[in-house]
Amino acid sequence: MDIIEPGIPIKGDYIQPDLILTAHRRKHSLLLDFKSYHLKNHQNERYDTAVQNPDQLVLRGAVQGVSPDELSVDFSYSSFGDLTEIHDLSEFNFTTVQFEAHVGDANLRIEIVGSEEFGEPDLDDAFPIEVPHGKDIPTDYYPFDAEDEDHTQFCIYMLNAAIQLAGEYGSDPFNVDELLAESHKLWGSMSEVKKKELRTWGEKFLDKYNKKGLDEHLRKVQKDDKPAWFHKSSSFQALRNKADEFISDLEADLRQKKLGEF
Amino acid sequence: MPPIEPTDRRELYEHFQHVIEGTYDQLLEEQKLNYKQNMLKSFLVETNIEATTLKEKFEYVTVEKVDYSLFEVLIDTSSDEDDEEILTFYLDSQDERFWTFYSIEKSRPAKDAMEDLIMAEQSGLDYLWFPAQLQRYFTTLGKFQGAGINYDAEDVFSEEYIDEHLPFGELSIQSSGQGTSWLLDALSDADLKRFMSLSSVKIRREVEEGAVIERIDNNGRITTRGGNDIQAHLSFVETIRELYADLIRGIEEESRIGYPIREIEVEEDERHSSGQSIEGTPIVINLANTVENLKEFADSFTSATKPLRLWGVGTWLADDYYKVRGTDLHNNDSFTLEIKRDWIRLYLPDDACGNTALRIFSNIQRYYDAEASFGERSNPKNSKVGLTA
């Protein structure tokens, strides 16, 4: 994995792919932008500029360990839906890959859609990629997103972060941003929009956490006119049982209503 | 015999030399020890604190400097139910990461005092956790003389879990003498091998001028059962420490997940932080003993109790895929476990202590699956001992 969400100016334009994967042996990078269904035309043009000027990725520091003269680049949109049904990308020389969960014997299938191919032939040969059942994909590199289905994981990571910060800070209060930075190692690189959403989740989590009786472990206070928390002593075994109940209740709640109502 | 209150290393080692020789002669002649004639025990301990902070962390501990990085540590055990006693240890903290506590106190009180110290909340101390592969390697460092096998599922799993999923709650075998190798080979051929976790090995180690007989327990305790050369014991402790340190270094270099911030040049002379990369892979532990109940298995290992002291909360990712996010209460590090029936993925952050990995791995071997092994890609390189099957 080379880099996540880098912001790179190339020839006066600015691109921010979600992911850059670099095969150093091949001196080849793959820029990926994950999309639901919305594409903006200017993005196509900008990514096309990036593909035509691969040296810029090295010169700007987004790709390391490859000489600027030797790097080649592919770009691809990536989606759980079929973007080619909605958008005509034929003007540009890049393709799309589609993810599909639980297909036949595969736990996850990733395949190229549309007629375009990658510039690097070996990359084409790698598709379709099938992750078989039993080899389930790792989930901890990116532990949660601001999506409703990730909310249980969000709360579990926040619970553990609360225990860690309580141990680290002693009687000094910590705020929700510090909890989020501890919970998600990519917090510092997230967009402000996503940060705001997760911060709202975090405030709600802490209020609900206290209402469920976990306030024996953390106490709410004010710090710089904002809510913060500090550690109160509590048996870790007792806390574990309460945390299990908390998560179980949360999962039951989520089955009944969307997060917005949480 | 030299004074019991040494003023430097040489005096301390001279004292230990006499203890070893006396023990050795006594064992040979009478096959037993006199009262107060205890064996020399060395406890290797992993740490991330300063030796002098012990007395601040533990009000029942006194620390006095003896020599360069050598301290006398007095532990008041008078709050215990049995004898009111102050136990004396000598702490060599020359290696900042791995300390050695020496003691000639009675075995049980010394062991209990060390456990109280190490297992205390936020102690900053941890045992060394020898995986079975490392224990087996120790038998090659001298003439193999004996072994102990301890399988203690009762310490970790509930009675119901053991009844439903495991053939034993407890299994203990002690063997010494020439038949030990034969016994281990015979048992290894049986189905029993999945529950045969080495708890100790005993070897005779000869050096140019003399010899020592050492018993190495799987948590870093080395007991000199006899011999005539303290230097042989000291060099053996060093050898064990280096083997373990190599394993830890390998894990920390290759098996932690980091998220370094990447700097991107925006203008010619201006750099900004933008974007993060991901480096490292999780450790994969392969299980020979398939897990029948993923949730109960995971909950048992992360219930915040001794010996693991891991806290965690789990969720199902799929019908047969369970995930626990947890905190190591020894050092406050986070960890994640993903568990399937026949493997476990362990994620450690890039600032985590590699000891957490070996604590989880060696305890899985001891309490659940003696044949558990690291996956090929998780095997620490540049270590003399591999952890794969």
Write the secondary structure of chain B as one string of H (helix), E (strand) and C (coil): CCCCCCCCHHHHHHHHHHHHHHHHHHHHHHCCCCCCCCCEEEEEEEECCCHHHHHHHCCCEEEEEEECCEEEEEEECCCCCCCCCEEEEEEECCCCCEEEEEECCCHHHHHHHHHHHHHCCCCCEEECCCCHHHHHHHHHHCEEEEEEEEEEHHHCCCHHHHHHHCCCCEEEEEEECCHHHHHHHHHHCCHHHHHCCEEEEEEEEECCCCEEEEEEECCCEEEEEEECCHHHHHHHHHHHHHHHHHHHHHHHHHCCEECCEEEEEEECCEEEEEEECCECCCEEEECCCCCCCHHHHHHHHCECCCCCCEEEEEEEEECCEEEEEEEECCCCCEEEEEECCCEEEEECECCCCHHHHHHHHHHHHHHCCCCCEECHHHCCCCCCCCCCC
What's the rounded Cα separation, in Å, for the pair B349 and B280? Answer: 9
pLDDT in tens, A135-167: 788 899 999 988 888 889 999 999 899 888 887
Establish if B86 touches chain A: CB-CB under 8 angstroms. no
Subunit contact B261:A60, Cβ cutoff 8 A: no
What's the rounded Cα separation, in Å, for the pair B5 and B64? Answer: 11
What's the rounded Cα separation, in Å, for the pair A6 and A152? Answer: 28
Q: Which residues 144-163 on chain A approach chain B with CB closer than 8 angstroms? A: 152-153, 156-157, 159-161, 163
Q: What is the pLDDT of residue B125?
A: 93
Facing residue for B326 by CB, picked from A4, A160, A182:
A160
Establish if B325 touches chain A: CB-CB under 8 angstroms. yes
Q: How far apart are the first and last CA of chain B?
A: 48
Q: What is the pLDDT of residue B32?
A: 59
What is the rounded average pLDDT of the residues B186-195?
Answer: 68
Angle between helix axes A192-211 and A176-183 (nearest 10 degrees) is: 110
Establish if A138 touches chain B: CB-CB under 8 angstroms. yes
pLDDT grade for A209, boundaries at 50, 70 and 90 = confident
A80 DSSP assignment = S
Facing residue for A3 by CB, picked from B265, B275, B302:
B275
Determine whether B122 is exposed, middle or buried from the number of CB atoms within 10 Å of its CB (0-12, 13-18, 19+).
middle
Q: What is the pLDDT of residue A171?
A: 73
- Top residue of B122, B268, B272, B274 to mutate, by most chain A CBs within 10 Å, is B274
For residue B323, the chain A residue with the least C-alpha distance is: A139
Bridge partners for A8 per DSSP: A15
What's the rounded Cα separation, in Å, for the pair B13 and B50? Answer: 23
Q: What is the pLDDT of residue B338?
A: 96
What's the rounded Cα separation, in Å, for the pair A110 and A254? Answer: 29
pLDDT grade for B70, boundaries at 50, 70 and 90 = very high
Which two structure tokens, joined as six digits, stand for B309?
């002291």
Write the CB contacts of A152 (distance below 8 Å, at least 6 apart in sequence).
A247, A250, A251, A254, B315
What is the rounded average pLDDT of the residues A169-186?
Answer: 88
Bond before A17 cis per omega within 30 degrees: no
What's the rounded Cα separation, in Å, for the pair B237 and B100? Answer: 8
What is the rounded average pLDDT of the residues A111-132?
Answer: 82
pLDDT grade for A239, boundaries at 50, 70 and 90 = confident
Bond before A138 cis per omega within 30 degrees: no
Facing residue for A61 by CB, picked from B265, B314, B321:
B265
Lowest mean pLDDT among A149-163, B157-171, B312-326: B157-171
A255 DSSP assignment = H
What's the rounded Cα separation, in Å, for the pair A248 and B139? Answer: 48
Contact list in A for residue B264 (CB cut-off 8 A) is 6-8, 60-62
What is the rounded average pLDDT of the residues B102-120?
Answer: 93
What's the rounded Cα separation, in Å, for the pair B26 and B20? Answer: 10
Contact list in B for residue A188 (CB cut-off 8 A) is 261, 273, 276
What is the rounded average pLDDT of the residues B354-383?
Answer: 91
Q: Is the pLDDT of residue A125 over 80?
A: yes
Q: Is the pLDDT of residue A116 over 80?
A: no
Please name the amino acid found at residue A215. Answer: D
What's the rounded Cα separation, in Å, for the pair B42 and A38? Answer: 66
CA distance A77 to chain B (A): 19
Angle (CA) A48 A29 A188, round 5°: 90
CA distance B367 to chain A (A): 20
Facing residue for B275 by CB, picked from A7, A243, A251:
A7
Q: Longest C-alpha distance within chain B, in Å? A: 83
Q: Is the pLDDT of residue B35 over 90?
A: no
What's the rounded Cα separation, in Å, for the pair A125 and A123? Answer: 5
Distance of CA B89 to the CA centre of its chain: 19
Average pLDDT over chain A reads 82
CA distance B326 to chain A (A): 6
Tell me which residue has tokens 């040489």.
B10
Q: Longest C-alpha distance within chain A, in Å? A: 63
What's the rounded Cα separation, in Å, for the pair B296 and B316? Answer: 12
What's the rounded Cα separation, in Å, for the pair B360 and A189? Answer: 32
Subunit contact A62:B262, Cβ cutoff 8 A: yes
Subunit contact A7:B264, Cβ cutoff 8 A: yes
Establish if A104 touches chain B: CB-CB under 8 angstroms. no
What's the rounded Cα separation, in Å, for the pair A118 and A120? Answer: 5
pTM of the model: 0.86
Subunit contact A164:B266, Cβ cutoff 8 A: no
Q: Which residues 175-214 on chain B approach chain A with CB closer than 8 angstroms? A: none
Establish if A93 touches chain B: CB-CB under 8 angstroms. no
Contact list in A for residue B303 (CB cut-off 8 A) is 237, 240
Percent of chain B with pLDDT over 90: 51
Establish if A8 touches chain B: CB-CB under 8 angstroms. yes
Q: At A46, which helix (H) or strand (E)?
A: helix A41-52
- Top residue of A56, A163, A251, A255 to mutate, by most chain B CBs within 10 Å, is A163
A64 DSSP assignment = -
pLDDT in tens, A17-66: 888 888 888 899 999 988 766 777 788 889 989 999 999 998 888 888 88
For residue B274, the chain A residue with the least C-alpha distance is: A6
Contact A58, A42 (CB under 8 A): no
Contact B184, B192 (CB under 8 A): no
Subunit contact A160:B311, Cβ cutoff 8 A: yes
pLDDT grade for B2, boundaries at 50, 70 and 90 = very low
pLDDT in tens, A104-113: 778 788 888 8
Subunit contact A244:B313, Cβ cutoff 8 A: yes
Contact list in A for residue B278 (CB cut-off 8 A) is 1, 4, 141
For residue A184, the chain B residue with the least C-alpha distance is: B259
Average pLDDT over chain B reads 86
Which two structure tokens, joined as six digits, stand for A111?
């395949």
Subunit contact B276:A140, Cβ cutoff 8 A: no
Distance of CA A83 to the CA centre of its chain: 20
What's the rounded Cα separation, in Å, for the pair B22 and A120? Answer: 74
A145 DSSP assignment = -
Name the residue with higher pLDDT: B345 or B306: B345
Please name the amino acid found at residue A136. Answer: D
Establish if A254 touches chain B: CB-CB under 8 angstroms. no
DSSP A178-216: HHHHHH-TTGGGS-HHHHHHHHHHHHHHHHHHHHTTGGG
Establish if A244 touches chain B: CB-CB under 8 angstroms. yes
Of these ranges, A213-222, B239-248, B311-320, the one predicted with the greatest mean pLDDT is B239-248
What's the rounded Cα separation, in Å, for the pair A246 and A154? Answer: 13
Contact list in A for residue B266 (CB cut-off 8 A) is 7, 9
Query: Cβ atoms within 10 A of the Cβ of A247, count?
Result: 19
What's the rounded Cα separation, in Å, for the pair B68 and B54? Answer: 17
Subunit contact A139:B323, Cβ cutoff 8 A: yes
Q: What is the pLDDT of residue B244?
A: 97
